């Protein structure tokens, strides 16, 4: 398929997309590093209990939100909306 955009425009688009991907990657790494202790502790609890209830997950979510600095999908409802493409605030 032939692009109708010029090579210069395609290069600008490619650069913009690369910048967005790089920023998202850096944010993901930052969140994973900030939440590493929570992940380790949660994994240990899960090994001991074998399952988590919604009640068990609530304090984990709070800890992740505090360390990650406001991730978009902080609740299951928000995550579900993102999966279907409708990023609306929790009501």
pLDDT (average), residues 36-46: 91
Count of other CB atoms within 10 angstroms of residue 30:
13
Split at pLDDT 50, 70, 90, the class of 91 is: very low
**For 21-25, 52-56, 59-63, 82-86, which range has the lowest pLDDT when averaged over its residues?**
82-86
- Which pTM was predicted? 0.56
> Which tokens belong to 5?
């955009």
């Amino acid at each position: 398929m032939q692009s109708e955009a010029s090579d210069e425009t395609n290069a600008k688009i490619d650069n913009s997309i690369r910048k967005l991907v790089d920023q998202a990657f850096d944010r993901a790494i930052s969140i994973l590093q900030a939440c590493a202790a929570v992940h380790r502790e949660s994994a240990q609890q899960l090994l001991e209990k074998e399952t988590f209830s919604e009640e068990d997950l609530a304090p984990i979510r709070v800890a992740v939100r505090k360390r990650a600095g406001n991730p978009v999908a902080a609740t299951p409802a928000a995550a579900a909306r993102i999966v279907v493409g409708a990023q609306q605030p929790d009501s």
